[in-house]
Amino acid sequence: MTVSQISVFAQSKPGHLARVLNVFEAAGANVRGFAVSDTGEFGITRFILDRPDIACDALKREGFAYIETQVLCLKLEDRPGELARVISLLAERNENVLYSYSMISTYIILATDNIEETKEILKDAGLRIITQADIEKANAIHAGNED
Amino acid sequence: MPTSSTNELSSKGVSQKQALFEAIKQKDFASFPIFDRSIECMPRKQLRELQLKKLQDQVAYTYQNVAYYRDLMDKSGVSPADIKTLDDVRKLPFTDKTALRDTYPYGLFAVNIDEIIEIHASSGTTGKPIVVGYTREDMQVWSDCIARLVQMAGVVPGDIAQMAFGYGMFTGGFGLHYGLQKLGCAMIPAGSGNTERHINMINDYGTTVLIATPSYAMHICEVGEKMGFDWEKSSLRIGLFGGEPCPPALKAEIESRMHIVCTDNYGLTEVMGPGVSGECLANRFQQHIAEDHFLWEVVDPQTGEPVSEGEEGELVLTPLDKRGIPVLRYRTHDLTRVTCEECECGRTHARMDKVRSRCDDMLIIRGTNVFPSQIEDVLAGIEEVTPHYHIIVETVNGMDSLTVETEVRPDKMTDSFEKMDAMRRRIAEKLKGTLLVGVNVRLVEPGGIERTMGKAKHIDDLRNA
């Protein structure tokens, strides 16, 4: 009942994440979820893929430092309070969450040094940028308060 | 019928390789061929006599033909006739790199240019290049020295040797080329660069010997692994390294991953080029000096006075039969120790410890002396990182700051940032314990430290930059 997660040694420098992703693409593995954090000069980038086996083979061949581990993947109900309920459940049983991230990889959060600049780059590339209002609206839909 | 197919060459190469590994394991050094037994195994007393005779001739030749040395010797009141023993070499003036630079290009030449048959130059990264010229005789001595040291490293006539040094003005490329040919090897003058082509050539031509800088050899190894090339099944048997110091951990790593035996040799353009000394397979941390061609001294780098026997100091070399550019007492700035004890390989020529540090690559960090080789040794003892490193020295808030970048080994990755950071801090602690100055450690990905085709650049000193 676990899923495979691939954790790759990450260096905070332009191009590193792209190289990892190119390896996945060339191998034909599709990223379903990922987490990148700002731990400093180095860090760990975590990926969930449809084909972790071929992804690992490709990373190994290319000489990346990585490790495959097993993690849990939960499907939550999309309603206010659901995340709090699940996390509290674990807290009550004294289970410590080391890290957690959301897996719907077609909606991604990005933080960069210059948000405005990044936004322009992505907009120019024709990407759809979600607003706070979009998120609010989505909540409203699920709460049944749509007008 | 001549052997010609790739398959035949490859299986011949693999069995030759296994035989070499076995002979080393059995310490069967007496079975290894020696290029010039009469010279290389000459009793030491006789060797010293030969050296004295050559030194006297060489000093007279230099005095007669090079105005620069004649003036210096006249000023210090020493004449060729004063050289009565080998120790009398100390009466002669030292030569530093600046002498070769100040007399650029031909000021120290002892012969007319029409007697020179080849010219080389050092890279000249710090000022004007240094130009050296070789007479036909010099070229013979040079290729002789190389033929000896490659045989010492296990190369035999009939080997197929692939050059991965750049040719050009650098002495390494042509120096090794001529010497390997003299021994009877087939030279492949591939040159540096185009790594995949190197690997294809090793495979297709049945190459048995690779000549490269250790960092480029490592790169060839890694690229081959990515291409799915099976080094163990390859005919490649020997790596001949030069151009930069080879850290023991790097050598061990290349030997185990490429399934070859690697040695490195020493030399410098100012006294000849490669061929001054080379590693035999019996003593893997030392190199035999070609004593019939080079008189060595080990001196205190500060005072220039000789150190006690077996002590570390700066290597000073006097070539004993150079015709093109005779050089007296050349200060190498390389730190080493020399022993004259017998060697298991049967050679009598003195052995120098491999040069790990130069007097001038010592860093002074907040008043403390730090040698890159110390950092190398600490990293070699840590299993989570590769032997590759890069040192950055900067001024931060008016203070020296030392950063060491080191590569995580691919199989030592964990899923815990905390553990990875603890490992980083542990390496920093170990470095501090040895160097006695605080060090920032930066973990980088495997392959993140540049592999060079020329001399590896381990240090970036950005102070006052």
Interface A:B, Cβ pairs < 8 A: 60
Average pLDDT of chain B, as a whole number: 92
| Residue A93: predicted pLDDT | 81
- pLDDT of B6 over the 70 cut: yes
Element (H, E) at B424: helix B417-435
| Residue A146: predicted pLDDT | 42
Q: Which long-range contacts (CB under 8 A, 24 or more apart) does B393-398 make?
A: B393/B363, B393/B365, B393/B459, B393/B460, B393/B461, B393/B462, B393/B463, B394/B462, B394/B463, B395/B462, B395/B463, B395/B464
Name A71's bridge partners.
Answer: A3
Interface test with A, best of B225, B403, B417 (most A CBs within 10 A): B417
| Residue B184: predicted pLDDT | 98
Question: pLDDT tens digits for B197-250?
Answer: 999 999 999 999 999 999 899 999 999 999 999 999 999 999 999 888 888 888
B409–A9 C-beta distance less than 8 A: no
**How many H helices and E strands in chain A?**
5, 4
CA distance B311 to B298: 8
- pLDDT of A40 over the 50 cut: yes
Higher pLDDT, A146 or B387: B387
Based on its alpha-carbon atoms, the radius of gyration of chain A, rounded to whole angstroms, reads 18
B222, B411, B443 ranked by CB distance to A42: nearest: B443
| Residue of chain B minimizing CA distance to A39 | B417
Place of tokens 């605080």: B438
At residue B295's C-alpha, the angle toward residues B360 and B59, to 5°, is: 105
- Asked if omega into B43 is within 30° of 0 (cis), the reply is no
Interface test with B, best of A2, A5, A9 (most B CBs within 10 A): A9
CA distance A102 to B199: 44
| Residue A147: predicted pLDDT | 41
B409–A65 C-beta distance less than 8 A: yes
A16, A63, A64 ranked by CB distance to B222: nearest: A63
CA distance A130 to B181: 69
A44–B444 C-beta distance less than 8 A: no
B428-451: b (≥16 Cβ within 10 Å) or e: bebbeeebebebbbbbbbbbbbeb
Residue B236 C-alpha from the chain's centroid: 21
Question: pLDDT tens digits for B131-142?
Answer: 999 999 999 999
What global pTM score does this model have? 0.78
Place of tokens 């031509």: B205
Distance from CA of B409 to the nearest CA of A (A): 7
A39, A44, A62 ranked by CB distance to B415: nearest: A44
A37, A44, A63 ranked by CB distance to B410: nearest: A63
Q: What is the mean pLDDT of residues A79-97?
A: 81
Question: pLDDT tens digits for A103-137?
Answer: 875 677 766 777 788 888 878 877 787 776 776 67
Q: Picking from A138-142, B23-27, B248-252, which range would have the lowest pLDDT averaged per residue?
A: A138-142
Do the first three CATH levels of B6-41+135-357 and B362-461 match, i.e. the same topology?
Answer: no
Domains and CATH numbers, chain A: 3-77+101-108 (3.30.2130.10)
CATH superfamily, with its number, for domain B362-461: ANL, C-terminal domain (3.30.300.30)
Q: Is domain B6-41+135-357 in CATH 1.10.490.10, yes or no?
A: no
Asked if B93 and B76 count as a contact pair (C-beta separation under 8 A), the reply is yes
Task: Write down the ipTM of this complex.
Answer: 0.75
- pLDDT of B356 over the 60 cut: yes
Which stretches of B213-329 are assigned E, i.e. beta strand?
Answer: 238-241, 261-268, 273-278, 286-289, 294-299, 313-319
Name chain A contacts of B417, Cβ cutoff 8 Å.
Answer: 37, 39, 43-44
A8, A16, A41 ranked by CB distance to B442: nearest: A41
Asked if A33 and A101 count as a contact pair (C-beta separation under 8 A), the reply is yes
Asked if B269 and B283 count as a contact pair (C-beta separation under 8 A), the reply is no
Sequence spans of domains, chain B: 6-41+135-357, 362-461
Name chain A contacts of B443, Cβ cutoff 8 Å.
Answer: 9, 41-42
| Residue B140: predicted pLDDT | 98
